[in-house]
């Protein structure tokens, strides 16, 4: 399966992963998936596993 990298931001100011910058991109990593959609689902799960609520997520082929 191909690897995808993701970068996402936290939605709320009280979220532990929130960074107060114009672009609040603060959660990133790599997932293995068969499609960009599956990669996005896995990225959301990875962000939630860090105790954060996912906001916008960008997924790209690694």
Whole-model pTM: value is 0.71
Counting other chains too, the contacts that 42-45 makes at CB distance below 8 Å and 24 or more residues apart are 43/4, 43/6, 43/8, 44/8
Q: Quote the percentage of the chain above a pLDDT of 90.
A: 29
Q: Quote the percentage of the chain above a pLDDT of 70.
A: 71
Q: Is residue 23 a contact partner of residue 9, using CB atoms and an 8 Å limit?
A: yes
Tell me the C-alpha distance between 11 and 61, whole Å. 24
Domain segments of the chain: what residues? Answer: 3-61
In the chain, count of helices (H) and strands (E)?
A: 1, 3
pLDDT digits (tens, 9 = 90+) for 18-43: 555 544 556 788 999 999 999 999 99
């Amino acid at each position: 399966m191909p690897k995808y990298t993701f970068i996402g931001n936290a939605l709320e100011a009280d979220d532990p992963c929130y960074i107060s910058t114009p672009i609040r991109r603060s959660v990133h990593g790599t997932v293995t998936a068969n499609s960009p959609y599956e990669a996005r689902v896995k990225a959301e799960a990875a962000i939630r596993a860090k105790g954060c609520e996912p906001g916008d997520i960008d997924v790209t082929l690694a």
